[in-house]
C-alpha cells in the first residue's frame, strides 16, 4: 500500500483512495479514474466545518470561534494555546505575562483573535492544529 499526499490538504493518504479522509475532497489519480461528481444533498458541503461556520468542530474536536474568544478575552494568559494543545506556547505566554505585566501578551492575544476570526476553518486548522511548531503565531 503506497501513500500519496492529498492535493488539497497535503495529508498522506492511501493511493487507492477516492476521497481524502481528512479534508473530504475527491481525489483524481490514474488508478481510480476520473473524479466522481459531488453528491448534492441540499447542502453542497456536508459538515459545518466545511461550510466554514465559526463555532463548528474540527476533526480534532476544537473550534475556531472558541479559540478566538479565548485569544480575545484570556490571551494574556495564553489559554488559546492550552485549548489547542500547545502547552509549551501557553507556558511561554504565561511567563511573558509575568515579566511584562501582561501588556505584550494582551496586544498579541487581541491581534491573534482578529487573525483567527478572519481565517477560514481549514486555514485555522492548518496553522494552529496541524502545525508542529511550538508557537503557532
pLDDT per residue rounded down to tens, the chain (137 residues): 688 888 778 888 887 887 888 887 777 655 555 555 555 555 554 678 887 888 888 888 899 999 999 999 998 898 999 999 999 999 999 999 998 887 888 888 899 999 999 999 899 888 988 888 877 76
Burial class of residue 76 (count of CB atoms within 10 Å of its CB; 0-12, 13-18, 19+): buried
pTM value? 0.63
Retrieve residue 6's grid coordinates. Answer: 492529498
Amino acid at each position: 500500500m503506497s501513500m500519496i499526499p492529498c492535493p488539497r490538504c497535503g495529508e498522506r493518504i492511501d493511493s487507492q483512495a477516492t476521497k481524502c479522509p481528512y479534508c473530504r475532497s475527491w481525489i483524481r489519480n490514474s488508478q481510480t479514474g476520473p473524479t466522481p461528481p459531488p453528491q448534492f444533498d441540499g447542502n453542497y458541503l456536508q459538515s459545518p466545518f466545511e461550510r466554514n461556520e465559526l463555532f463548528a468542530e474540527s476533526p480534532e474536536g476544537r473550534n475556531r470561534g472558541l479559540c478566538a474568544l479565548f485569544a480575545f478575552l484570556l490571551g494574556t494568559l495564553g489559554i488559546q494555546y492550552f485549548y489547542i494543545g500547545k502547552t509549551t506556547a501557553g507556558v511561554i505566554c504565561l511567563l511573558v505575562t509575568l515579566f511584562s505585566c501582561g501588556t505584550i501578551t494582551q496586544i498579541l492575544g487581541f491581534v491573534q483573535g482578529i487573525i483567527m476570526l478572519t481565517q477560514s476553518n481549514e486555514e485555522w486548522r492548518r496553522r494552529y492544529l496541524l502545525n508542529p511548531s511550538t508557537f503557532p503565531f
